[in-house]
Structure 1
Amino acid sequence: MSFYQRHVLPHLLDFAMRQKQMLPFRRRVIGAAEGTVLEIGIGSGLNLPLYGASVRAVIGLEPSPELLRMARTRAARASVPVELLEASAEAVPLEGAGIDTVVTTWTLCTIPDAPRALAEMRRVLKPSGNLLFVEHGRAPEPGVARWQDRLDPFWGCVAGGCHLNRKIDALIAGSGFRIEALENVRLPGPRTHTFLYEGRAGKG
C-alpha cells in the first residue's frame, strides 16, 4: 500500500464524505434501519451518531485500518453498541441469516467485486431483512455516462478505487435482491459524480 493510500486518502475520504448535502440522505437511510445492523464500508464512522432506538447493535465492516481508527472514536460515543471488523465485503466474517438490516452509503462504488459483496450481504441477511442504500453511479444521460466511462480509470486511481459508472440498481437486482423502493436524485456538482440511487431492497 502506498503512502498516499495509507496516510493521505483516508483523511481525504473522511473530509469529502462529511459534506452537509449528504446528511439528509444519511439520515433517511440510517433512520430506516432496525434490529442488528451490518454497515458495509463503515469508513470513519460518519453514520454512527445517526443510529437510534430501533437499532439493537451495529456491526461495522471496513477493510482500511486507518479509517477504522477514526471510526473507533465515533463508536465510543454512539448511542448503540458498535462492533468494528477489519474485513472485506467480499468475505463477510459472519454466520448466515443473522442480520436484520444491511446498510451501504456511498460504498458499492469502491468494492472491487461488487456482485460478490452483494451476494455476501444477501447471505447474512435474515429472510425478512432489508438492504438500505444510497450510492452514486451511472447517470441516465448517454453523454454524461460516456464521460463517466472515460474518467473512470483515472478517478479510481485518485479516489481509492471509486467507480463513477456502476449502475447500482442493476447490480443490486442482479444479485438476487428485490428492489422495493428506489429514488434517483442529483446532488449539486459535476454531473459525472452526483447521480444518486437511494432505496431499499428485500432479500428476494
Structure 2
Amino acid sequence: MGNLLLKTIGQEYGDFVVFKDLNFEFNPGKIYAIIGPSGGGKTTLLNSIGRLNDLSYGDIIYDGKNIFDYNVLQYYREIIGYLFQNYALVDEETVRQNLNLVNRHKDRMLRRFLERYGLDSSYLDRKIFTLSGGEAQRVALTRLSMQDPKIVLADEPTGALDADNKNMVLKSLRAMANDNKIVIVATHDEQVKNFADERLNIAEYR
C-alpha cells in the first residue's frame, strides 16, 4: 500500500482561510490525529482527502497518483473508508440492509463480521434506530471492516461514546493500522490524541 501526500494544499472561502500551504505525509501502519479548535478545519481536511471537497489549490497524492485521477467508484469502494460520529447508517433500514450496502454477503458471513465487534446474529434484523450509540458505532465498524479500505477517515468517532465503546473503537482503529492501513482521525479527545502515533495540528496552517 502506498503513502498519502498533501502537497502545499489550501482551502479558502473568499477571504476566510481554512488552512493554507499544508504539506504532510501519511504512511501505512500508523494512526494520525488531526487536532485543532472546533470549526478549525479538521473535518474539511478529511473531506478533502475523501474527495467530498475541492481544494482551492495544491495536490493530494495517493500511491503516486493524484486522488482526482482515480476512478471515482474505485476510490470510494477500495481506497477510502469513513467512520463518522453520527455513524452514517440508514436509520429505517435493518443492520443487514446497512451492511449489504457495502458488499452483499450471506447471513453466515455477516454474522462473522458482526461477531468481531461483539454483536450476535440477532442484530441482523434490528433497525438502526433501535440501537444504542455504541451498538450503532459497532455496526459502522463492521461495515468499514467489510469494505476493507486502504485509507480510513474517522471524524470524531468517539465523541458520543462511553468509555467501553470508546476503547473498542480505538482498539479497532489500531487493528486497522496494524493491517497496514492509513488511519486518519479528526478529534478533540485527549485520549485519542495520545493514542495516535502522530499529530497534525491544523491550527498551524492558518
- What TM-score do the two structures reach when normalised by structure 1? 0.33
- Identify the structure with bigger relative contact order (alpha carbons < 8 Å, sequence gap 6+): 2
- What TM-score do the two structures reach when normalised by structure 2? 0.32
